C-alpha cells in the first residue's frame, strides 16, 4: 500500500514540476518573470520595507522585556528578540533591553539592563526557560504538569525590577515578549502609563499540548488583557488567543517571524557529515528541541517506513530535550538506531553546516506557533517538509507540507524529495528566494507601525 502511495505522490509531484517548468518557459518567452512550480498557486510575496523610509521614522524609545538573548538562549524566543531589536534600531528606535538576570551579553543596537544587586534573582535553572520540558514538570496528585515551585516567584521578582526600570528609564512604549515577561511589562505600564505591546511567541496551550498550568495561564491572560495591542506570530496563535483568553480579535495583529536576509558564509573546515555524504548517504535533518510539541516521535515512525524503501538515509536529530532518551529508545525498538544520529544542540557554524549538509529538512511539529528553523533551512537552500500544524506553513509556499500524525504521507514525501532531483532543485531555489522575503526588517517594520499607532507625535525632538 505504501509503495502505491509513494508512486502516486512521486508521479503527481513530477507532473507538477514538469508543468511548472513548461509554464515558466512559455512565460519567459512572453517576457513574464516566473519563480517556479509554486508560482502556480502562491500569492504575492510581502513587500520589503524601504531602508531609507525606516531610517526617517520619528525617534522612538522602546523599553523591551525578554527572558533570553543569544548566545544565552534555549530556543527561538531569544533569536526573535535579537532579530527584532536589531531591525527596530535601524528604524530610529533606541532599545533598552531588560533581562531578568545578569548575562555576558552586549550589542551595538541595544542597551542591556539587569537587576540591581539589592534585588535578589536566582540563577535560572533548567525550568526557568521559555521552553520548560513537559517531562520535567512537577506532577500534582492528579498527574497534571506543574512548573517548578519558584517559577512564579522568579517572574514576580522580574516584575519588581521592571517597575524600578520604568521609573528611571525614559521610554515611549513597552514591548514584552511571552508570558515570562508579561508581568514585568504590566508593572512598567502601571508606573509610567506608557502603552504596552505584548508579543506572543507561544501560548501555554501550545507549549503543553493543552495540559496547562493555571498559574501560567492567569499571568498570560492578565498580560494580554492589560496590553494595548497584541502581536501573534501566526494566525493559529491568534485564534488561540481570541478563543482561550477572551481577547477581542481586533486587538491582535499577526506578524510572522523573520530571518536574517543573507546566510552566513560556510566554513571551509571539514564537517562531521562529510564522510556520510561521501559514502552515498542522504541526510534528513530535524533541528529543534526534542520535546512533545516538536513531534520527534512522529518523524521516527515515518523514518522507519522510509528506510524500508531506501536504506541509504541517515536521520539527524539535532537538539536536546526531555524526550531525547525516549526517542533513542524508540529508534532502537524500531530497529533503526544505526540510521539515527543525535549530535546534540547545535549553534553557530555547526548549525549552519548541518543545514547545508542536509538533503531535506523535516519539521514534524504537533503544535508550532511559528517555526524559525524552517526559515533557517530554506535560507540555506535546503528543501523543507513542514507540518501543516505550524505557523510557518501559513507564511511559506515553497515547501512540502504534511500532517504530523500521517507517517505514511510524511515518508512518501521524504522519499519523493530525496529521489526526484527536479523537485528538490525547485524547492531549494524557490525556498531560498522566499526565505529572503521573510526578513526581520519586514517583521520589525510592521511592529513599528503598531507602536507608532499607540505613540503620539512628540511635541519636541528628543535630545
| Residue 71 shares a structural domain with residue 211 | yes
| Residue 355 shares a structural domain with residue 248 | no
Q: Are 173 and 455 in contact, with CB atoms under 8 Å apart? A: yes
Q: pLDDT at position 140, please?
A: 39
Range 382-387 average pLDDT: 98
Report how many helices (DSSP H) and strands (DSSP E) the chain contains, helices first: 17, 15
The yes-or-no verdict on residue 40 having pLDDT over 90 is no
The yes-or-no verdict on residue 118 having pLDDT over 50 is no
Output the CA torsion sign for 72, 76, 78, 84.
Answer: positive
Q: pLDDT at position 348, please?
A: 84
Q: Report the half-sphere exposure of 271 (CA within 13 A, side-chain side).
A: 20
- In this predicted model, what pLDDT tens digit does every residue of 259-275 receive, in sequence order? 986 555 555 566 778 88
- Higher per-residue pLDDT: 12 or 96: 96
Taking alpha carbons only, the member of 348, 347, 350 closest to residue 358 is 350
Range 332-358 average pLDDT: 94
> Residue 216 falls within a domain, yes or no?
yes
Q: pLDDT at position 132, please?
A: 46
Range 347-373 average pLDDT: 94
Give the whole-number percent of the chain exceeding pLDDT 90. 63
> Residue 233 falls within a domain, yes or no?
yes
Locus of grid cell 530610529: 92
| Residue 101 shares a structural domain with residue 229 | yes
Taking alpha carbons only, the member of 300, 363, 310 closest to residue 331 is 300
The yes-or-no verdict on residue 16 having pLDDT over 50 is no
| Residue 82 shares a structural domain with residue 197 | yes
Taking alpha carbons only, the member of 162, 174, 241, 173 closest to residue 201 is 241
Nearest-angstrom CA–CA distance, 252 and 225:
11
The yes-or-no verdict on residue 387 having pLDDT over 70 is yes
| Residue 420 shares a structural domain with residue 447 | no
> Residue 203 falls within a domain, yes or no?
yes
- DSSP reduced 3-state for 269: coil
| Residue 228 shares a structural domain with residue 286 | no
Range 65-87 average pLDDT: 83
| Residue 331 shares a structural domain with residue 243 | no
Nearest-angstrom CA–CA distance, 8 and 413:
10
The yes-or-no verdict on residue 450 having pLDDT over 90 is yes
Q: How far is CA 166 from the centre of its chain?
A: 29
The yes-or-no verdict on residue 31 having pLDDT over 70 is no
Output the CA torsion sign for 28, 33, 34, 40.
Answer: negative
| Residue 60 shares a structural domain with residue 198 | yes
Nearest-angstrom CA–CA distance, 416 and 87:
38
The yes-or-no verdict on residue 257 having pLDDT over 80 is yes
Q: CATH no. for residue 96?
A: 3.40.50.2000
> Residue 37 falls within a domain, yes or no?
no
The yes-or-no verdict on residue 318 having pLDDT over 50 is yes
> Residue 44 falls within a domain, yes or no?
no
Using alpha carbons, list the distances in angstroms from residue 206 to 26, 131, 211, 249.
Answer: 45, 11, 9, 19
| Residue 278 shares a structural domain with residue 250 | no
| Banded pLDDT at 210 (limits 50, 70, 90) | confident
| Residue 236 shares a structural domain with residue 380 | no
Kindly report the backbone phi and psi dihedral angles of residue 301, in degrees, each rounded to the nearest multiple of 5, phi listed first.
Answer: -65, -40
Q: pLDDT at position 19, please?
A: 43
Which residue range forms the structural domain that includes residue 97?
51-258+441-454
| Banded pLDDT at 72 (limits 50, 70, 90) | low
Taking alpha carbons only, the member of 365, 82, 147 closest to residue 237 is 365
Q: pLDDT at position 435, please?
A: 95
Output the CA torsion sign for 104, 105, 106, 111.
Answer: negative
Range 31-56 average pLDDT: 43
- In this predicted model, what pLDDT tens digit does every residue of 125-179 receive, in sequence order? 323 444 443 333 333 344 444 344 567 888 988 999 999 999 999 999 999 999 9
- In this predicted model, what pLDDT tens digit does every residue of 276-300 receive, in sequence order? 999 999 999 999 999 988 999 999 9
Domain count, the chain: 2
Q: What is the mean pLDDT of the chain?
A: 82
| Residue 68 shares a structural domain with residue 172 | yes
Range 18-43 average pLDDT: 35
Q: How far is CA 175 from the centre of its chain?
A: 19
| Banded pLDDT at 190 (limits 50, 70, 90) | very high
Kindly report the backbone phi and psi dihedral angles of residue 331, in degrees, each rounded to the nearest multiple of 5, phi listed first.
Answer: -60, -40
> Residue 132 falls within a domain, yes or no?
yes
> Residue 416 falls within a domain, yes or no?
yes
Least confident of 133-137, 167-171, 421-425, 427-431: 133-137
> Residue 16 falls within a domain, yes or no?
no
| Residue 242 shares a structural domain with residue 291 | no
Q: pLDDT at position 153, please?
A: 84
Which residues have C-beta within 8 Å of that of residue 75, sequence separation ≥ 6?
A: 129, 130, 131, 288, 289
Locus of grid cell 524529495: 417
Taking alpha carbons only, the member of 126, 127, 119, 186 closest to residue 152 is 127
Which residues have C-beta within 8 Å of that of residue 159, sequence separation ≥ 6?
A: 183, 184, 186, 187
Amino acid at each position: 500500500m505504501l509503495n502505491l502511495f509513494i508512486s502516486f505522490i512521486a508521479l503527481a509531484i513530477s507532473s507538477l514540476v514538469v508543468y511548472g517548468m513548461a509554464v515558466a518557459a512559455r512565460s519567459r518567452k512572453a517576457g513574464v518573470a516566473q519563480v517556479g512550480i509554486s508560482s502556480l498557486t502562491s500569492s504575492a510575496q510581502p513587500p520589503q520595507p524601504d531602508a531609507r523610509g525606516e531610517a526617517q521614522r520619528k525617534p522612538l524609545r522602546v523599553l523591551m522585556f525578554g527572558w533570553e538573548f543569544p548566545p544565552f538562549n534555549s530556543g527561538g524566543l531569544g533569536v526573535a528578540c535579537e532579530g527584532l531589536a536589531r531591525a527596530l534600531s535601524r528604524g530610529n528606535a533606541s532599545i533598552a533591553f531588560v533581562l531578568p538576570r545578569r548575562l555576558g551579553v552586549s550589542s551595538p543596537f541595544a542597551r542591556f539592563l539587569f537587576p540591581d544587586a539589592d534585588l535578589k534573582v536566582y540563577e535560572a535553572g533548567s525550568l526557568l526557560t521559555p521552553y520548560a520540558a513537559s517531562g520535567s514538570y512537577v506532577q500534582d496528585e492528579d498527574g497534571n504538569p506543574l512548573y517548578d515551585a519558584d517559577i512564579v516567584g522568579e517572574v514576580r521578582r522580574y516584575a519588581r525590577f521592571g517597575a524600578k526600570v520604568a521609573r528611571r528609564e525614559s521610554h515611549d512604549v513597552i514591548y514584552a515578549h511571552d508570558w515570562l515577561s508579561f508581568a514585568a511589562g504590566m508593572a512598567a505600564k502601571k508606573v509610567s502609563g506608557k502603552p504596552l505591546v505584548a508579543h506572543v511567541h507561544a501560548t501555554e496551550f501550545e507549549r503543553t499540548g493543552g495540559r496547562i498550568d493555571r498559574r501560567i495561564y492567569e499571568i498570560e491572560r492578565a498580560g494580554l488583557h492589560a496590553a494595548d495591542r497584541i502581536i501573534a506570530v501566526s494566525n493559529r496563535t491568534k485564534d488561540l488567543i481570541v478563543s482561550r483568553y477572551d481577547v477581542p480579535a481586533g486587538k491582535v495583529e499577526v506578524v510572522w517571524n523573520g530571518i536574517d536576509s543573507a546566510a552566513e558564509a560556510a566554513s571551509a573546515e571539514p564537517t562531521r557529515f562529510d564522510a556520510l555524504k561521501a559514502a552515498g548517504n542522504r541526510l534528513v535533518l530535524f533541528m529543534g528541541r526534542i520535546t512533545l510539541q516538536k513531534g520527534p516521535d512522529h518523524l521516527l515512525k515515518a523514518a522507519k517506513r522510509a528506510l524500508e524503501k531506501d536504506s541509504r538515509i541517515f536521520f539527524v536529530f539535532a537538539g536536546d530535550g526531555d524526550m531525547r532518551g525516549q526517542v533513542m529508545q524508540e529508534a532502537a525498538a524500531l530497529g533503526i538506531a544505526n540510521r539515527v544520529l543525535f549530535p546534540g544542540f547545535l549553534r553557530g557554524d555547526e548549525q549552519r553546516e548541518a543545514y547545508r549538509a542536509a538533503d531535506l529538512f523535516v519539521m514534524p511539529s504537533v503544535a508550532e506557533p511559528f517555526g524559525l528553523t524552517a526559515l533557517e533551512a530554506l535560507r540555506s537552500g535546503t528543501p523543507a517538509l513542514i507540518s501543516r500544524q505550524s505557523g510557518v506553513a501559513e507564511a511559506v509556499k515553497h515547501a512540502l507540507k504534511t500532517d504530523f500524525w500521517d507517517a505514511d504521507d510524511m515518508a512518501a514525501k521524504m522519499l519523493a524529495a530525496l529521489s526526484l532531483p527536479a523537485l528538490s532543485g525547485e524547492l531549494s531555489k524557490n525556498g531560498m528566494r522566499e526565505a529572503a522575503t521573510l526578513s526581520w526588517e519586514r517583521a520589525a517594520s510592521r511592529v513599528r507601525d503598531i507602536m507608532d499607532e499607540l505613540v503620539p507625535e512628540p511635541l519636541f525632538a528628543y535630545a
